[in-house]
Amino acid sequence: MEYSTYGRHVAVDAWGIAFDHLNQADKLSVQMVQAAESSGASILSVQVKQFEPQGATVLLLLSESHMSIHTYPEKGFAALDCYTCGTAVDPDVAIKAMLAFLEPTETSNVKIIRGTGELQVEHAQLAVG
């Protein structure tokens, strides 16, 4: 079987998120798993870290690559990303599901097309809803 090097990597900075959404690592991991599954991704493992006094990191190892979130509840900020190889899984779907849960007031994002030569970077707002 020959594998494609093509992949899509979506990275999002999100602000204006409620403290409680960002400071519950276990709840974030449940949401991340649901978001990844909604995109059709195959989850291989989940790593969860709750920081003290606040903050969380959740990392999903996917058969197609990875998805992560790093939170700063005291700032109302989260950094999310999802990278998927191939064309079967759309990282936009997973990211949009997380943004629907987090309900940020502001986002900034890029989509990077990888594995086809020079990196292609697209700037566009992700519509949530």
DSSP state, residue 87: S
Q: Is 121 exposed, middle or buried (0-12, 13-18, 19+ CB in 10 A)?
A: exposed
Q: Name the active-site residue from 9, 29, 39, 65.
A: 65
Q: Name the active-site residue from 9, 29, 82, 85.
A: 85
39 classed as catalytic: no
Provide Rg for the chain, Cα atoms. Answer: 14
65 classed as catalytic: yes
Task: In whole angstroms, give the CA distance from residue 17 to residue 22.
Answer: 7
Q: Name the active-site residue from 70, 82, 108, 123.
A: 70
Q: What is the DSSP string of 57-81?
A: EEEEEETTEEEEEEEEGGGTEEEEE
The residues carrying an active-site annotation are 65, 70, 85
